[in-house]
Amino acid sequence: MSITSLLIANRGEIAVRIIRAAQAMGIRTVQVHSAADRDMLAVKLADEAVEIGPPSAAKSYLNIEAVLKAARETGVEAIHPGYGFLSENAGFAKAVEEAGLIFIGPRPEAIALLGDKVEARKIAARAGVPTVPGSDGRVDSLEKARPLVEAIGFPVMIKAAAGGGGRGIRIAETLEEFERLFPQASAEAQAAFGDGGLYIEKVITRARHVEVQILADGQNAIHCFERECSLQRRRQKVWEEAPAFRLPDEARKALCESAVRLAREVNYRGAGTVEYLYDDETGDFYFIEVNTRIQVEHPVTEMITGIDLVQEMIRIAGGAPLSIRQEDVVVRGHAIECRITAEDPAKNFLPAPGTVSTLTIPQGEGLRFDSFLYEGYSVPPFYDSLLGKLVVWGEDRQACIARLKTALAATDIGGLATTVPLHVALAEEPAVLAGDVHTRFLEPWLETAFPATPSKELV
């Protein structure tokens, strides 16, 4: 069946993105929102809007019963969770299906399997996908962990078995540091995800973060090539590119094919991302995790392939088979996405919500701005600081960066501090221009580029 109506269980720029994709397909849209988001652009764009709770995300966007109640009352057929909030919650996906609705995403069983990083590593191993040296399963105690980390060798990464977004992660350089950080990571994982389980991985010192976009219909799976996501602050991506730079063709082929094998191993359905660490020194790559949702950085893939990933998600959820063959997916040019947030890089990235007094966004060929802003809009202080994503395309990486510099210079979001100055600086940085970066590059660089910003992690 083709979906004719859907509810967006999210907010901000991804809600706007989903609404526009759905309405282009002739689908009726319903936007749920908190009391703080009554004036949000997605509320204005949707065919219908329903308030589901107070500003607190726990009482609105994370309130499963409130979301389902809005769906029942508005008579929609499907729910799109976007990213974050309930998007990777297997219990929510199951509740949606039990309510007789369509969950626009993977099946609950796949979300549960791949959402547990320990189980995901086992699935990857079965599919012949290399994994980072580490524990075979969960590590329940320091007593069991000590001999393991001594065998792996330092530095090691302590990671939450559940969840994502950089939460519940610590890097230990010595055994003494490991013993101090292990209980902290467990406590944070328990608080963030309701699961204090941990596992351990070897740290690849100069690793790059490369991820592969997949699409699947439960029977067939394809990849839409890879993205470079190595520029990160506190394990949160700041700047993303597609395709990955300085990646040998044989490595690109192996990465992408391994992601498809993993998708087939679990009969994956929908859009997803398989994430890897790539070792520049050896050319080896290692599986990290699968994100069972649309990614924040999906526009760079759309810009180089011409595929509307959100519309494909909706079609697949409605029961349509994959309409794209692997040989149809062709890379054209290069794209870069800058995440613009309401933070002040000159003040240790201090959150800076406020009212948008002026808004000037460059327009033209090869430019895209995914956002939920408009002049006069007051950005609420209760949620993620992402304001929008400036996405630029060029015939090659050099042309793309040149266009990006021009676009950043013309971008003005008045009334609040943003990270536009950070991206301006990155676009001039020789190491970035040369593609000589890795996942631990940005934070030390910030000490010089933005002296008020310390690079040490909060532990």
For the annotated catalytic residues, the residue numbers are 293
Residue 226: strand pairing partners: 212
Say which DSSP state 321 is in. P
* Residue 50 identity: V
Cα–Cα dist 235/228, whole Å: 14
Quickly tell me which residue has 């592969």 as its tokens: 212
Q: Residue 397 CB: number of other CB atoms within 10 A?
A: 18
* Residue 388 identity: G
Cα–Cα dist 406/389, whole Å: 15
Cα–Cα dist 299/331, whole Å: 14
Cα–Cα dist 211/107, whole Å: 21
The CA distances from residue 235 to 6, 83, 175, 433, in Å, are 33, 17, 22, 21
The secondary structure element, H or E, covering residue 369 is strand 367-371
Tell me how far apart the 2 most distant CA atoms of the chain are, in Å.
Answer: 59
On whether the CB atoms of residues 138 and 160 are closer than 8 A, the answer is no
- Token representation of residue 242: 């597609």
Say which DSSP state 265 is in. H
Quickly tell me which residue has 């389980």 as its tokens: 197
